[in-house]
Amino acid sequence: MSTIKTSANFTELGLISPLLARLTELEYQQPTPIQAQAIPNILVGRDLIAGANTGSGKTATFALPLLQQLFQQGKSEKQSSSKGNTVSGLVLVPTRELARQVADSIKSYAAHFNGAIKTVAVFGGVSVNTQMLALRGGTDILVATPGRLLDLISSNAVKLDRVKTLVLDEADRMLSLGFTEELAELLMLMPKKKQTLLFSATFPEQVQTLTQALLNDPIEIQVQSAETSTLVQRVFTVNKGQKTALLAHLVKTNQWRQALIFVNAKKSCKHLADKLSKRGITAEVFHGDKGQGARNRVLDAFKVGEIEVLIATDIAARGLDIEKLPVVINFDLPRSPSDYMHRIGRSGRAGEVGLALSLIDHEDYHHFKIIEKKNKIRLEREEVAGFEMAEIIPDAYLDAGKPMAKPQGSGKKNRKKKAIEASDIWLKKF
Ligand code: AMP
């Protein structure tokens, strides 16, 4: 592990004035911890492996130095590298939404380069022709999902033999979505000698293998959740039959500006939206069966606050950056503990206060314990007044029959008291 430089303001990180001016406009007052540690090292050409919470500012971490390096390489080199549909900086991402979002951020950071850096996003689900046209004459920064990129390579619309910097964003997600073979194929098409920056929220074995094969004496940065988290996590127990009623109650009582609600199946999105509609709440749905155009429209409307309640599958759990999203609700628990972290990471981003709420019924108890254990968290079970569990949780639902260690003061009276506190104090807080 190498020594890590740290710095407290953007000027000290070695960034050039067109970028500093843009950061001032964006009102970024201080680098986030990952930015402070990584940017100076990326600028001097080091490889990087970073484990950071979503919302930690990782896009700017790679985008700012990448833009600076390409800008400084100057016009002469750029002209030669722009022949023949080549790419200088390649950012691989797992989903279409993330590709759009990352490319938009890069373009925004480059606002004072007066068009000197060309950034293109390519992803599936939309016409390939427009993307082919955009790639003509070479691209400085290409943000791509692996499948569509391979399609474009096979039609000679783009070549990777001049890639100088490779960014793998959400590497764990890319591998878990089955992009392993695509990644291997893409890596074969790139020069061996290049700078590689790998970001991953979690480090399963597959990511570690990739890291060993790909990175050269990397700087390693792990931003611990405690340093960056402004997210409050809570868990509410409720009878299965009352989950929808509790959700409607929470949405109405709290008047959240926006709420992102996760369910596990595409058809559950519509089902829940219909049930909420009967209770006077309008909700939109977001899942993989919607066309790309519809997905973009819904997401854009949610981002600007035209849609207040969005019911989504895990397709929305990764990387999406919705400014100041006040609350994420797990109506269904995610299957994997790492998806729990990704879902809740949609709220409490970049230092904003956020709330992640999970509604669990008897059947969810055991699974939620696993989520807690894997993510090294322990949350007190709470109830909302009027939605208390009908009875004490049967042992059968607890840890394979073992009685669960009761949180302090978990007797019936206390539980009632807690429910009242939760509704009176907490519900007013957000
Ligand atoms: P990311 O983790 O890249 O998705 O970034 C999350 C959010 O933080 C985005 O809305 C960024 O615009 C914002 N952001 C990134 N860096 C900073 C910073 N240093 N100060 C304030 N906001 C930031």
Q: In terms of domains, do 146 and 291 share one?
A: no
d(CA 63, CA 91): 9
Q: Choose the final residue of a domain: 192, 226, 260.
A: 226
Model's pTM, two decimal places? 0.62
pLDDT digits (tens, 9 = 90+) for 398-416: 444 333 333 334 444 444 4
Domain boundary (171, 200, 226) is at: 226
pLDDT at 231: 77
> 377 and 254 share a domain?
yes
Given this model, what pLDDT does residue 172 score? 84
Residue nearest to atom 6 of ligand 1 (CA): 55
Q: Is 104 in the pocket of ligand 1 (CB under 6 A)?
A: no
Q: Is residue 413 part of a domain?
A: no
| Domain region containing 284 | 228-390
Looking at the structure, do residues 171 and 53 belong to the same domain, yes or no? Answer: yes
Please compute, for residue 102, the number of CA atoms within 13 A of its CA located in the half-sphere on the CB side: 33
Q: Residue 162: what pLDDT?
A: 95
The DSSP code sequence of 189-202 is TS-SS-EEEEE-SS
Q: How many Å apart are CA 287 and CA 294, to the nearest integer?
A: 10
Q: Ligand 1 centre and the CA of 64: distance in Å?
A: 12
Please report the pLDDT score of residue 427 as a whole number: 30
Query: Does ligand 1 lie within 6 Å of residue 28's CB atom?
Result: yes
* Phi-psi group of 208: left, alpha or beta (phi > 0 → left; psi -120 to 50 → alpha; rest → beta): alpha
Q: What percent of the chain has pLDDT over 90?
A: 46
> Strands across the sheet with 309-312, in order?
284-286, 309-312, 259-262, 327-330, 354-360, 231-237, 381-382
Contact 43, 68 (CB under 8 A): yes
pLDDT confidence of residue 404: 37
Look at residue 333 in the predicted model and tell me its pLDDT.
95
pLDDT tens per residue, range 94-109? 888 889 989 999 999 9
CA dist., res. 217 & res. 326, Å (int)? 40
402: in domain:
no
Q: Which residue has the higher pLDDT, 372 or 320?
A: 372
* 242 shares a domain with 185: no
pLDDT tens-digit series, residues 297-308: 888 888 888 888
- Whether 280 is in a domain gets the answer yes
pLDDT of residue 218: 93
pLDDT of residue 424 exceeding 70, the answer is: no
Together in a domain, 122 and 234: no
Q: Is 58 in the pocket of ligand 1 (CB under 6 A)?
A: yes
Whether 263 shows a pLDDT value over 90: the answer reads yes
352 lines ligand 1 (CB under 6 A): no
Q: How much is the pLDDT for 173? A: 81
174-178, 298-302, 308-312 — which is least confidently predicted? 174-178
59 lines ligand 1 (CB under 6 A): yes
The token pair at 93 is 């991402």
pLDDT-derived band at 87 (thresholds 50, 70, 90) equals very high
Has residue 217 been placed in a domain?
Answer: yes
Residues 286, 289, 294: CA angle, nearest 5 degrees: 55
- In ligand 1, the atom with minimum distance to the C-alpha of 105 is 12
Is the domain of 46 the same as that of 191?
yes
pLDDT at 77 over 70: no
Q: From its phi and psi, is residue 156 left (phi > 0), alpha (psi between -120 and 50) or beta? A: left
**Closest-CA residue to 77 (of 91, 88, 68, 85):** 88
Given CA atoms 401, 402, 403, 404 in this order, what sign does their dihedral have? negative
- If we measure between CA atoms, which residue out of 121, 112, 113, 114 comes closest to residue 89? 121
pLDDT winner (highest mean) among 110-124, 210-224, 275-289, 321-335: 110-124
Q: Which helix (H) or strand (E) holds 250?
A: helix 243-254
Q: Is residue 430 part of a domain?
A: no
Average pLDDT, the chain: 82
Residue carrying the six token digits 């009761």: 406
Check pLDDT > 50 for residue 161.
yes
- On whether both 174 and 34 belong to a single domain, the answer is yes
**What confidence score (pLDDT) does residue 156 get?**
95
**CA-52 nearest atom, ligand 1:** 2
State what percent of residues in the chain have pLDDT above 70.
81
78 domain-assigned: yes
Q: How far apart are CA 229 and CA 32, in angstroms?
A: 12
Task: Identify the bridge partners of residue 121 per DSSP, sorted by sequence position.
Answer: 143
Lookup result for tokens 């540690």: 37
The first and second tokens of residue 111, run together, are 């606002």
Among 226, 261, 292, give the residue marking a domain's end.
Answer: 226
Q: Does the CB atom of residue 57 touch ligand 1 within 6 A?
A: yes
How far away, in angstroms, is 406 Cα from ligand 1 center?
39
- Same domain, yes or no: 255 and 359: yes
Amino acid at 119: T
175 plus 137 within the same structural domain: yes
Tally of domains in the chain: 2
Residue 291 lies in a domain: yes
The answer to whether residue 199 sits within a structural domain is yes
Reported as a pLDDT band with limits 50, 70 and 90, residue 386 is confident
Confidence of residue 350 (pLDDT cuts 50, 70, 90): low
Return the structure tokens found at 131.
Answer: 């993307």
Cβ-in-10-Å burial (0-12, 13-18, 19+) of 7 comes to: middle
